[in-house]
Amino acid sequence: MTAVTSTTVPSTAPVVITGLALRLPGAAAPDDFWQLLVDGVDRTAPVSDHRRALARAPWWDDVIGEVEGIELFDAGFFGVDEDEARFMDPQHRVGMEVAYDALCDAGLAESGESSSRRYSVHLAMTCNPYYGLVCRYLDEHGPAALPPRTVMNTFHGALAARISHQFDLTGPVMAVDTACSSFLSALVQGIDSIRNAGCDGAVVGGVNLLSAPYTSMLCNAGGITTSHPHVRVFDEEADGTLIGEGAVVVVLEREDIARARNRRIYGRIVAHAINNDGSSLSIMAPNPRGQGDVIRDAYLGSGVGPTAVGYIEAHGAGTRVGDPIEVSALSKVYRKEDFGDARIGLGSVKSNIGHLLSAAGGAGLAKLLLSLGHGQMAPSVHLTTINPLLRLDRTPFEMVTSPRPWPRVDGRPRAGAITSLGLGGTNVHVVVEEADEKGRPRGALPRPVVCLSATSEHALGQMLKEVERRCADGADLYDLAMTLARFRPAHGWRATVVLDPATGAVVRTRVNHVARPGRRPKGEPPRTLEAAAERFLNGGAIDWTQFFPDGTGTILGLDPYPFSRLRYWLGH
């Protein structure tokens, strides 16, 4: 394996995003989310009967961006017993599953990897509505009925700690709460841990679930939510937002590490800044000065200028006053006179799924990364009449209301920016450019064999269906075999798939269940991929780097792991 070591002195290596996983309204994977965006779908709707029953609130009638199945969890996969799972904040449960998918996506769940790694973990959470249900249970049954770890599983910091524990990550671990800007604040902390704390990478995530109506009720009382059935960002009728749910996790790494270890790169972070408004009219009032300063500060010393940016994913508060303040702050740095006839696309994902509070920046970042990767800008919805207070004629901005190509200019990488503005005044601005994948080495599969594993027969069956589909769609067979064998954990249910070398079609599949996987058999290590596959099928631990070395191929983005979820909920 190529030696790429961390350093305890400040790093100047670029930071890239190598892993992405999400669970959002109407989307369980990035591909689902992208389709939702380009189709201009609005996934906000009145609270479902099912959610009202879970929350024990039959009167709850708010419009929200709802994620299905928040009561379901694969407790056994994470070594959590059933009683503990019932009392655990569903935000932890969903966050653990999404984090697992993100780390697999980045190659950090590498099969056979046992050494600790200096990666930091930063998880954004603001509210815990499930805590109210736990307290109600305490009132009804007394503390003797609670599992001992309930106290841990209601703390915000426990989710970050669980992720660090599961993957043996030894960098700084913390919960982050700057209200609506929490996710991007966590992202900045992750970047700083790489630049200044000797970390090779960082796991950054955010989660917001409405397991009870309390968060929604508080936002209604605070004047945050709209009177309309939709979020109308930048519209003259905009008067607030709707609260949405979801979880997003990304993995950051030094670019030299990412390129040496076969990572797929979603984007390179080229500029960022964080600040606070300081004094303003009130603690909930936006401050134009603070918003403008954070955008300006992002570019100081970055080596990139505002004119490189072709699209901005705005915070998009969806208010008649807040939206113009944000556009005015942006226009002080992204100046019309600097862009000539060029235009910057402007949009906000809140019009599709609502405001995810602590996870809002994660949804916006996912949209930006997918837009960079697809070379296309996705539309905002429900924009009927542009708010005249935006004064767009004085800016280089143009609202994106239908899907449009995002061409490169003069061969330069596409670059986009994202803003998050938190209640309490914490502002963040981040600039991301697409990765240059030219010249990435390509591997050649020595034999047409794919090895994969799962924790259950059902999950393995789902993964085998994906292998067959990927092969039929013309996936790179080396990347597919490398991703599944080397960059996924080795579980007890195992399969080998022999492919037709000419067509990639599945020729033969063998399945075996190993009671005690991972034992290293005595004798010489296998010299051929067929011999390694046979040993793997029978439970052996394989050093896959001899067949899929560093610097060859690129980790392939696969479907989320097919967890075997069961229902865990208090009162049911």
Distance CA 198, CA 207 (A): 27
Q: 364: exposed, middle or buried (C-beta count within 10 Å: 0-12, 13-18, 19+)?
A: buried
Give the model's pLDDT for residue 203.
98
Say whether both 400 and 460 belong to one domain. Answer: no
Q: Which amino acid is at 73?
A: F
Long-range contacts of the stretch 279-288 (C-beta < 8 A, 24+): 280/425, 283/423, 283/424, 283/425, 284/222, 284/423, 284/424, 286/317, 286/322, 286/325, 286/326, 286/421, 287/425, 288/325, 288/328, 288/329
Say whether both 474 and 510 belong to one domain. Answer: yes
Give the model's pLDDT for residue 244.
97
- Is 334 a member of any domain? yes
- Is 495 a member of any domain? yes
Say whether both 404 and 509 belong to one domain. Answer: no
**Which ranges of 475-562 does DSSP label H, i.e. alpha helix?**
477-486, 529-537
- Is 503 a member of any domain? yes
- Is 111 a member of any domain? no
- Is 183 a member of any domain? no
Choosing from 374, 404, 433, the residue where a domain stops is 433
Choosing from 370, 402, 433, the residue where a domain stops is 433
Nearest partner of 558 among 41, 91, 104, judged by Cα: 104
Say whether both 499 and 350 belong to one domain. Answer: no
Residues pairing with 241 in the sheet: 225
- Is 103 a member of any domain? no
Say whether both 282 and 427 belong to one domain. Answer: yes
Say whether both 286 and 411 belong to one domain. Answer: yes
Distance CA 473, CA 411 (A): 29
Distance CA 93, CA 70 (A): 9
Distance CA 485, CA 480 (A): 9
Crossing angle of the two packed helices 322-331 and 288-299, in degrees rounded to 10: 30
Say whether both 353 and 404 belong to one domain. Answer: yes
Distance CA 440, CA 69 (A): 39
Order of strands, sheet of 44-46, starting from the edge strand that comes earlier in the sequence: 44-46, 63-65, 243-244
Distance CA 119, CA 19 (A): 13
Both tokens of residue 558?
């696969």
Say whether both 386 and 466 belong to one domain. Answer: no
Distance CA 559, CA 28 (A): 9
**Which ranges of 197-285 does DSSP label H, i.e. alpha helix?**
214-221, 255-260
Four-CA torsion 470, 466, 20, 431, nearest 10 degrees: 30
Distance CA 370, CA 266 (A): 8
The gap between the terminal CA atoms of the chain, to the nearest Å, is 50
Report whether 200 contacts 245 (CB < 8 A): no
Distance CA 23, CA 418 (A): 20
Give the model's pLDDT for residue 145.
86
Report whether 242 contacts 65 (CB < 8 A): yes
Q: What is the CATH number of the domain that holds 507?
A: 3.30.70.3290
Distance CA 272, CA 296 (A): 10
Give CA separation, 150 vs 92, 110, 154, in Å: 12, 31, 6
Residue for token digits 């509505």? 129
Report whether 363 contacts 408 (CB < 8 A): no
- Is 92 a member of any domain? no
Nearest partner of 107 among 257, 295, 301, judged by Cα: 257
Q: Can you give the pTM of this predicted structure? A: 0.95
Nearest partner of 110 among 529, 520, 544, 464, judged by Cα: 544
Residues of the chain with pLDDT under 70: 1-10, 113-115, 280-285, 439, 517-523, 572
Q: 348: exposed, middle or buried (C-beta count within 10 Å: 0-12, 13-18, 19+)?
A: buried
Distance CA 247, CA 519 (A): 35
Both tokens of residue 210?
């409405």
Q: Which domain holds residue 515?
A: 449-546
Nearest partner of 544 among 486, 476, 465, judged by Cα: 486
Give the model's pLDDT for residue 280.
66
Nearest partner of 220 among 239, 237, 247, 199, judged by Cα: 239
Q: Which amino acid is at 342?
A: A
Give the model's pLDDT for residue 3.
45
DSSP codes of every residue in 410-442: TTPPPEEEEEEE-TTSEEEEEEEE----TT---
Provide the 10 A C-beta neighbour count for residue 465: 12
- Is 18 a member of any domain? no
Say whether both 500 and 424 belong to one domain. Answer: no
Say whether both 347 and 413 belong to one domain. Answer: yes
Distance CA 430, CA 327 (A): 16
Report whether 534 contacts 542 (CB < 8 A): no
Say whether both 492 and 523 belong to one domain. Answer: yes
The number of angstroms, rounded, from the C-alpha of 160 to the middle of its chain's C-alpha atoms is 14
Give the model's pLDDT for residue 504.
85
- Give the side-chain half-sphere CA count within 13 A for 36: 22
Give the model's pLDDT for residue 501.
84
Distance CA 231, CA 224 (A): 11
Report whether 366 contacts 22 (CB < 8 A): yes
Rg (CA), the chain: 24
Say whether both 355 and 429 belong to one domain. Answer: yes
Q: What is the number of domains present in the chain?
A: 2
Distance CA 301, CA 309 (A): 16
